[in-house]
Structure 1
Amino acid sequence: MKADQIIPVLRIFDYQKALEFYRDWLGFEVIWEHHFAENTPVYMEIKKENIIFHLSEHHGDGTPGSRIFIWGEGIVGYYKKLTEKPYKYNNPALEKAFYDAVCFQVYDPFGNVIIFNEKYDEIEHKDLEFYSIH
């Protein structure tokens, strides 16, 4: 079997809060939205480059508190861009993970967590300041 695309479905509870977090802060674009009728829950697709999520207000679609782990490139630049934007509900910290990665986590308003990871490079990342709980 070969998967062409994997699209996580994340449970949301508030359309406006979802837009504020995913579109306005993280920089995703809304590709499409679906409602079965007027004044019914939304099911929508959002995208940022090759990352695609489905967000659903429907009961039973996804579990609040899900975690999504993303490997990529340019994570440090993206982190810096995010931390320069005013978003009062998140203050991510750059970390060096035990699995040899530079990473940071963001928490959406519904308890879901997205972990952005980039392979640690001793030359490229040598001057970074990392958050440490020790």
Structure 2
Amino acid sequence: MSFGKTTPVLHIDDEGKALAFYIGFLGFSVDWQHRFEPGFPLYLQVSRGDCVLHLSEHKSDAAPGAALRIETDGLEAFRAQLLGKAGGDVPTEIQAMPWGSLDMTLHDPFGNRLVFTNAICA
């Protein structure tokens, strides 16, 4: 038996803020987007490398305030990219965690917590 990758669904409530944060700031790309009709809630997939996220304006999809961990082998370089985009002001530092990983936590405009980690070093 095997399992595949997980694709989290995060709640968003403003397309412009979501695109500014995930695409403009974090550097993800929009893979596809869907609306049942014009003016209906947006559902889209964004990705960066192997990290794939679904973002949804649908009220029944996810709740604001979700938390997820995203592994990266370039945490310091990623933080440097964000510092450049934010004019040197990213509201988080890379922290050494008691379980051995280095983590950097960001919150999106909708209260979702994204923890970028260099992976757990057991």
Query: What's the C-alpha RMSD, in Å, of the aligned pairs?
Result: 2.0
Identity of aligned residues (%): 31
Could you say which residue in structure 1 is the equivalent of 2:112? 112
Matched letter for residue 102 of structure 1: L
Matched letter for residue 29 of structure 1: S
Change in Cα spacing, 1:30 to 1:88, as seen in structure 2 (3 Å) is farther
- Report deviation, 1:93: 1.3
Matched letter for residue 69 of structure 2: F
Change in Cα spacing, 1:35 to 1:90, as seen in structure 2 (3 Å) is farther
Matched letter for residue 70 of structure 1: I
- C-alpha distance in structure 1 between counterparts of 2:89 and 2:58, whole Å: 24
Could you say which residue in structure 2 is the equivalent of 1:19? 19
Q: TM-score, normalised by structure 1?
A: 0.83
- C-alpha distance in structure 2 between counterparts of 1:36 and 1:118, whole Å: 38
- Which string of whole-angstrom CA distances, capped at 9 and with x for unpartnered residues, describes residues 107-134 of structure 1? 000000110111589xxxxxxxxxxxxx
How many equivalent residue pairs? 121
Whether contact under 8 Å (2:82, 2:90) holds in the other structure is no
- Report deviation, 1:49: 0.3
Looking at CA atoms only, which structure, 1 or 2, has the larger radius of gyration?
1
Matched letter for residue 112 of structure 1: N
Could you say which residue in structure 2 is the equivalent of 1:48? 48
Could you say which residue in structure 2 is the equivalent of 1:96? 96
Structure 2, unpaired ranges of 5+: none
Matched letter for residue 118 of structure 2: E
Task: Judge which range, 22-31 or 93-102, deviates more.
Answer: 93-102
Whether contact under 8 Å (2:9, 2:62) holds in the other structure is yes
- C-alpha distance in structure 1 between counterparts of 2:87 and 2:5, whole Å: 30
Whether contact under 8 Å (1:83, 1:92) holds in the other structure is no
Could you say which residue in structure 2 is the equivalent of 1:32? 32
Counterpart secondary structure, 2:60: coil
Could you say which residue in structure 2 is the equivalent of 1:71? 71
Q: TM-score, normalised by structure 2?
A: 0.91
